[in-house]
Structure 1
Amino acid sequence: MLRAALSLVPALVLAGCAAAGPADRPAAANRAATPEISVATLADVTRILSSDEYEGRAPTTAGEEKTVTLLADHFAKAGLKPGNNGSWFQNVPLVETTAAPTALSVTGGKAPLSLAFRTDMVANSYRVQPSVSVKDSDIVFVGYGINAPERGWNDYAGLDVKGKTVVILVNDPDWQNEGLEGPFGGRAMTYYGRWTYKYEEAARQGAAAAFIVHDTAPAAYGWNVVQSSWTGAQYNMDAANNHMDQSSVIGWLTNDAAQRLFAAAGQDLAQLTVAAKQPGFKAVPFGLKASVSLTQKIKRQASRNVIGILPGTTRPDEYVIYTAHWDHLGRCEADASGDDICNGALDNATGTAALVALAEAYQKAGAPERSVIFLAVTAEESGLLGSRYYGENPVYPLNKTVGGVNMDGLNVTGTSRDFVVIGPGKSELEDYLKRETDARGLVLKNEPTPEAGYYYRSDHFSLAKFGVPMLYGEGGEDLVEGGVAAGRAASEDYRTNRYHQPSDEFDPNWKWDGAVRDLEIYYAIGRALADSDAWPNWREGDEFRAIRDRSRTGR
């Protein structure tokens, strides 16, 4: 998920775990040692990966084969070594399903209601079956669909939804708060606000079907993004149980369709949305029944993460990691011209190109003390599957991985006067970031839309869940040429007109100076980590701190 475009344990830790301050390495020395970041590499790799020849880089397609071959070749030319026991690749077992749903039929109201696929709703299934159906399933509105005992919140309290269809609101109950105070962090989305969590919890509760009500502001993207992302081939991790522990059907409703559904039950969506924000909210049975079915084409095939490593000189068994996802949507909803290739130039051919450019930069400067991993992951667009697989099956021990940087979309609109950190206040890597932004005279800002939960929406999250401190940031919107107005206009234009659409294509007129500046920052941070014995940690009280403390204590 491209954030830039959408911006409008035991307490005892060994001494080696303590964070060494970033002042251990003078900023000037780091900047002087930063080799040139190649604009030619950034532009060429981005242009090739996002060309129609690569067909949108969907996993397990001919586009993947071209992509991973190109990356392995460029990693080798940059002086990296194959990162997985002599191979450039880590196989990621996936199952691809392509669903053909019927309309969602609702009965029991004043008149039958039929919600059409694509225009009113999208439906899919995690279950790996040729056909899946839900028939005459009782519909229940469960508010935000959250069960968080540590926060004293349970939308399923006293409720049995086994075999039923639950309707759920997107985001957290307090997402409209002005500040960061509230049961779920105020404006800052928690993992409870993510659509992935909502389906996971619905399955744990035994729901037969789960539909999320789309609303552009709390979702942080329009219905067109849902439509393009949830139609066509879908990917999931292959599993021995064929994901039969999941709900039969999952999907989304447009806001208009949801209003009609609520009205059919004699309810009002706006009123119940307000009620669902209050602690102690009680789920509302609708007295309606839902029926929907779908047939699925099924294909099992491994996709691949691409891994290169620059071995360290003195501590090769300690690691710094850079990540980016190479995949995009492949063939998608055609635009008015008939173009059905979602090329994913900005998202995320640019970030993938950045891995190559940074590898070249490290090679020019010479190997650091610690090893540096360059990891291009698959299936980010399908739910962070490639990075999740690496997190669950790490090639290099995560308790010996110092930290890293994830890149999901580069700044190609020009140099900015500011730099934005996503998920501010989470880890001590921000100290390293602040040193580099201060040295460049940049204003370090918190993300402007914490309610969108971007820290949980890209591949760094898959490593953070296992305790590895990961930094995610980007150049801001206050452009040197045009100021904030120009920056926001560029972000809004991309979000509305290109994000997850065929029009996200390479533009030879892109300005790469902002991307280069940001990559110089990422290089300096990674180099400082790789040339020191520091072990930066998560801040006290952060959700990932205990996990890191446990893993480092047991190293």
Structure 2
Amino acid sequence: MKNNLPLLTLLGLLAIGCNESARQVADTNDEAAATTTVASTVLKPALQSITAADLLKRTKVLASDAFEGRAPGSAGEDSTVNYLTRQFKQLGLQPGNPDGTYVQNVPMVGFTPQPKASFEAGGKTISLTFPTDYVALTRRFVPSIDVTNSDMVFVGYGIVAPEYGWDDYKDVDVKGKTIVMLINDPPVPAPGNAGQLDSTIFGGKAMTYYGRWTYKYEIAAQKGAAAAIIIHETGPAGYPYEVISGSHSRENFDINNPNKNMDRAKVEAWITTDKAQQLFTAAGKNFAQLKQAALQKDFKPVPLNAKANFSIKNKLREIQSRNVIAKLEGADPKLKEEYVVYSAHWDHLGKDPSLKGDQVYNGALDNASGTAGLLELAEAFTKLPQKPKRSILFLAVTGEEKGLLGSKYYATNPLYPLNKTLADINMDVLNAYGPTEDVTVIGYGNSTLEDVLAQEAKSQKRHIVPESSPENGSFYRSDHFEFAKQGVPALYAESGVVARNQPADYVKKWQENYTAKDYHKVSDEVRDDWNLDGAVEDLQLFFRVGLRVANTPKYPEWKEGTEFKAKRDASLSGTNSASASR
């Protein structure tokens, strides 16, 4: 092979296995164009195996009432795991677990809260109705928990970020108290620039992990708070309160661990904005003014002169949930012990017998579609005339809806070394509204994987764009994040916002309608008006990206300044550093 081949030619040769015919093509005068043609011909059977009809067929199975909403620890889980295992076997893929099975057991504890709560402020009792006004649970694996006459303190956004000189807990001891926090991280105004956000702090418009609810509860526990309450606001959250009440008012799960989560706060709760305003008014505080004050570094916690009372009965059960994993072993003896992961969560919210009429949360788009897409990708890789150099893992994880539990368990108990895992490419809610001219990157600017995505998108005459609402923190809300936390470069992309041959606001309206009417509701079902052609384009693009990463010598990298780079650099130091820099 010539050393001066154009980059596009080199990548094309890698994708088709560097066979002799490719070398002959590369020696022609129009090397790049010829190689692209050959590569497209070789990839054609794989790409064409990804179809809207097959994607719809698989989605219908997973989203059927027979699967009962695919809740962990249910008959729906058994049906889902059995279906995925059969599909992987039929495709001829190897068991993904080195023990010879297609499953990784994920030990969990299920807990169903039955809470009672009230606030006392200004001589008044503020009653709270579960789950319309609030949800409250305890992640401690105990049958009951009580928080009585607990002093309440408003702690702004509930963040301690030394790198930004930010501490919402300054000058206060919250041990044994109930803290009340705002959602997300603070949208700090830019100095002297009205209407703009300060891009040097908390990512500007984009949310950082400090804004994620999981962080807020984690720091509350570290500070010794008895109870931690987040005030839900639909705009900043990006979803209505019903998403919270629907998810947290029924059985929840956490990974079973030796300490039974006794290091967590006793109570983790959400309240509606209306109830928060009622509380602050009764306590003689101005909610709007305190929200504004919380945008400043010099903000100090504000005692509310109020008391909180929680009593939670906890129904507990231990279960063995399962991740499902299959493997396509790489063709290169030297590289087959290195891996590219495709991930999607198979679980949804299950079945709620207390509902009248439809009781099944089918989760058709979220995420039967992504799981069906995982199977489509697995099939596509089996259609290649020559396997990729590195191994490909297809990972369907449990418990995403309960806090990214399956991906967290895999990332902390990996079946294959993470320092030899080049990338995770994640799928969560595929496009049912048709082809787009662009591709949205969630967490834009994080890794070189998006550079690969941008280059491969050109083959579809598409381009990549940042997410339109980074303040909603979508990068921290799906399974790729657990890989990122452990340093593995992760790509989470989806169809863009400019639909082909549609009005300019078509996608925006479609997504807003889905979020308002179907997201985490029983109405998330397969619909006759779906157009999955855009989902097919996305899957074909993800296929190209994963194949290229699997064949390209250099490892993907986190970009400078990202919060995951240091961990990755440390994991690659030593035995794997040579491979990463090839």
CA contact (8 A) 1:477 1:483 kept: no
**After superposition, where does 1:82-481 map in structure 2 within 5 Å?**
82-85=95-98, 86-102=100-116, 104-174=117-187, 178=196, 181-314=199-332, 315-332=335-352, 338-365=357-384, 366-481=386-501
1:71 aligns with 2:71: no
Could you tell me which of 510, 515, 518 is aligned with 2:538?
518
**What SS is found at the alignment partner of 1:478?**
coil
Q: Matched residues in 1 for 2:375 and 2:39: separation?
A: 20
* One-letter amino acid of the structure 2 residue matched with residue 487 of structure 1: V
Q: Matched residues in 2 for 1:451 and 1:474: separation?
A: 17
**Aligned counterpart, 2:27:** none
CA contact (8 A) 2:188 2:198 kept: no
**What SS is found at the alignment partner of 1:128?**
coil
Q: Matched residues in 2 for 1:534 and 1:198: separation?
A: 37
Q: Structure 2: which 5+ residue stretches go unaligned?
A: 1-5, 13-35, 190-194, 577-582
Q: Matched residues in 1 for 2:353 and 2:291: separation?
A: 31
Deviates more, 1:181-190 or 1:30-39: 30-39
CA contact (8 A) 2:358 2:522 kept: yes
**CA displacement 1:305-355 (0-9 Å, x = unmatched):** 0010000011210111100000001124976x6212111000000000011
**After superposition, where does 1:521-536 map in structure 2 within 5 Å?**
521-536=541-556
**Aligned counterpart, 1:14:** none
Q: 1:339 to 1:542 in 2, by over 3 A?
A: same
Q: Matched residues in 2 for 1:346 and 1:185: separation?
A: 29
**What SS is found at the alignment partner of 1:112?**
strand
Count of equivalent residues: 534
CA contact (8 A) 1:175 1:188 kept: no
How far the C-alpha of 1:175 sits from its partner, in A, is 6.7
How far the C-alpha of 1:242 sits from its partner, in A, is 1.1
Q: 1:43 to 1:108 in 2, by over 3 A?
A: closer
Normalised to the residue count of structure 1, the TM-score between the two structures is: 0.93
How far the C-alpha of 1:21 sits from its partner, in A, is 7.3
How far the C-alpha of 1:29 sits from its partner, in A, is 5.4
Q: Matched residues in 2 for 1:269 and 1:181: separation?
A: 26
CA contact (8 A) 2:68 2:361 kept: yes
After the TM superposition, which parts of structure 1 deviate over 3 Å for at least 4 consecutive aligned residues?
A: 20-24, 26-32, 175-180, 332-335
How far the C-alpha of 1:159 sits from its partner, in A, is 1.2
Q: Structure 1: which 5+ residue stretches go unaligned?
A: 1-19
Higher-Rg structure is 2
CA contact (8 A) 2:446 2:562 kept: yes
* One-letter amino acid of the structure 1 residue matched with residue 378 of structure 2: A
**Aligned counterpart, 1:9:** none
By relative contact order (CA 8 Å, sep 6+), the higher-ranking structure is: 1
**Aligned counterpart, 1:15:** none
How far the C-alpha of 1:41 sits from its partner, in A, is 2.6
CA contact (8 A) 1:95 1:236 kept: yes
**What SS is found at the alignment partner of 2:297?**
coil
**Aligned counterpart, 1:58:** 71
CA contact (8 A) 1:145 1:198 kept: yes
Q: Matched residues in 2 for 1:99 and 1:432: separation?
A: 45
How far the C-alpha of 1:113 sits from its partner, in A, is 1.3
Cα RMSD, aligned residues only: 1.7
* One-letter amino acid of the structure 2 residue matched with residue 467 of structure 1: G
How far the C-alpha of 1:437 sits from its partner, in A, is 1.7
How far the C-alpha of 1:508 sits from its partner, in A, is 3.6
Q: Matched residues in 2 for 1:262 and 1:454: separation?
A: 30
Q: 1:199 to 1:333 in 2, by over 3 A?
A: farther
Q: Matched residues in 2 for 1:100 and 1:138: separation?
A: 22
**Aligned counterpart, 1:48:** 61
* One-letter amino acid of the structure 2 residue matched with residue 552 of structure 1: L
Q: Matched residues in 2 for 1:324 and 1:483: separation?
A: 31
How far the C-alpha of 1:218 sits from its partner, in A, is 0.9
How far the C-alpha of 1:131 sits from its partner, in A, is 0.7
Q: Matched residues in 2 for 1:49 and 1:416: separation?
A: 26
Q: Matched residues in 1 for 2:134 and 2:7: separation?
A: 51
CA contact (8 A) 2:325 2:394 kept: yes
**Aligned counterpart, 2:24:** none
Q: 1:503 to 1:468 in 2, by over 3 A?
A: same
How far the C-alpha of 1:404 sits from its partner, in A, is 2.7
Q: 1:29 to 1:449 in 2, by over 3 A?
A: farther
How far the C-alpha of 1:182 sits from its partner, in A, is 3.8
How far the C-alpha of 1:288 sits from its partner, in A, is 1.0
**After superposition, where does 1:5-44 map in structure 2 within 5 Å?**
24-26=10-12, 30-32=39-41, 33-34=43-44, 35=46, 36=48, 37-44=50-57
Q: Percent identity?
A: 48
How far the C-alpha of 1:180 sits from its partner, in A, is 6.5
CA contact (8 A) 1:180 1:188 kept: no
Normalised to the residue count of structure 2, the TM-score between the two structures is: 0.89
How far the C-alpha of 1:429 sits from its partner, in A, is 0.7
Q: Matched residues in 2 for 1:198 and 1:273: separation?
A: 17
How far the C-alpha of 1:480 sits from its partner, in A, is 1.3
